[in-house]
Amino acid sequence: MTRFEALVSLNMVSDIGSIRLKKLFEFFGKPENILKSSAEKLMAVSGIGEKIASKIFSLKKEDLDKEFALAKKHSLKILTFEDKDYPENLKNIPDPPIILYVKGELKPEDKLSLGIVGSRRASFYGLTNSERFSADLAAKGFTIVSGMAHGIDTYAHRGALKQGGRTIAVMGSGFNYIYPEENKELAEGISKSGAVISEFPISTLPLKQNFPQRNRVISGLSLGILVAEAARNSGALITADFALEQGREVFALPGKVDSLNSFGTNGLIKQGAKLVSCVDDIIEELNLNIDSEPKMIEENENRDNKSPDLSVDEYALYNSINREPVRLDELLEKTHLASSRVIELLLRLQVKRLIKQLPGQQFARN
């Protein structure tokens, strides 16, 4: 068994992280020697109890072969923390993942990364600002890192993709279980303009306990974390804690004082997080020498009824939508068109990137 194969095998044992692996290395010298040892000898290592020793001893070559077959099926590259392509920012945290499964491509320029995280049940304010900051940062050359969850994460990835920038999604499951399932198409888009990554073996379910572990990777890949919106017990606050432990900057968007979704972000600001209102606040705090003028995203708002890209019905519907969200039932009232026709037209306008769909069957202009 090669060193690479041994590391992949050890990563398939739950509860072995880089800290325990380091202790095993100190005792056995090489990862290959770890797999050749008896359970009794494994238990002699500090932090390796009977349960973990038994799991290591029970590893089979067939398990590794199955893992490599799945990696090939999903077109994944497997990196170890010893590889030169392993992200530099992540390598420097106290407990970097032993293995990264990568769909897409990680590049050296991803060192200039910023994480954007926040509530899954975000408000319109949180979603639009997540997308706006992501697009503006991507325009300045940042890679946007997030967790591909509903809400803030999804809009952070979308903002970078719309700008034509790079983005990295960090999963809390294996590649057999893209989570949430509704983001499978988004995951494909991210893999073509960045990378979707996971430290978890390919058949790992999206279990609740995986996501705090995933959050340390989001912050570890990034120079800093922007919390766009977060309630009192939001997982985004866990990411902010990891960022502080890793010596990263923490930024927060201020929110309304009476909004439950802003309790976490406003609390971070009270504790010393940098309040931001534009991307220049982030660049200034990171002390980066970056052009202050972002590339502008081409706007589609100046279309009129003579535009060859819009039919009469498309224009009528588009003219009923502005930057504030409007519900589907309101659009039906305004246009007096059949619901099936309105839904068809909404899809066309989304494909043309003139509008976007928001939670609760609401729509707004891009």
Whole-angstrom Cα Rg for the chain: 23
Which residue type occupies 280? D
The answer for residues whose C-beta is within 8 angstroms of residue 72's C-beta and 6 or more apart is: none
Give the pLDDT of residue 136.
95
Give the whole-angstrom CA distance, residue 196 versus residue 189.
10
8 Å CB contact between 336 and 320: no
Give the whole-angstrom CA distance, residue 94 versus residue 246.
7
Give the dihedral of Cα atoms 349, 184, 209, 359; nearest 10 deg.
20
Q: Distances in Å between the alpha carbon of 254 and those of 66, 125, 153, 238?
A: 48, 11, 18, 18
8 Å CB contact between 277 and 249: no
- The model carries a pTM of 0.79
Q: Consecutive sets of 10 residues in the chain, 366 residues long: mean pLDDT of each?
A: 94 87 89 90 90 91 96 97 95 94 97 97 92 95 97 96 96 96 95 97 96 96 97 92 96 92 94 94 90 43 44 80 85 81 84 83 85
Q: Distances in Å between the alpha carbon of 319 and those of 7, 232, 253, 305, 332?
A: 57, 38, 31, 9, 13
The domain ranges of the chain are: 3-103, 108-286, 312-365
- C-alpha closest to that of 281 among 242, 319, 224, 338: 224
- Residue 71 half-sphere exposure, CB side, CA atoms within 13 Å? 20
Tell me the three state secondary structure of residue 295. coil
Give the whole-angstrom CA distance, residue 343 versus residue 362.
12
Give the pLDDT of residue 345.
87
- C-alpha closest to that of 94 among 208, 286, 244: 244
Give the pLDDT of residue 309.
64
- C-alpha closest to that of 83 among 148, 19, 20, 4: 4
CATH of 108-286, one of 3.50.50.60, 3.30.1330.30, 3.30.1370.60, 3.40.50.450: 3.40.50.450
Q: CATH code for 312-365?
A: 1.10.10.10
Give the whole-angstrom CA distance, residue 256 versus residue 100.
39
Q: CATH code for 3-103?
A: 1.10.150.20
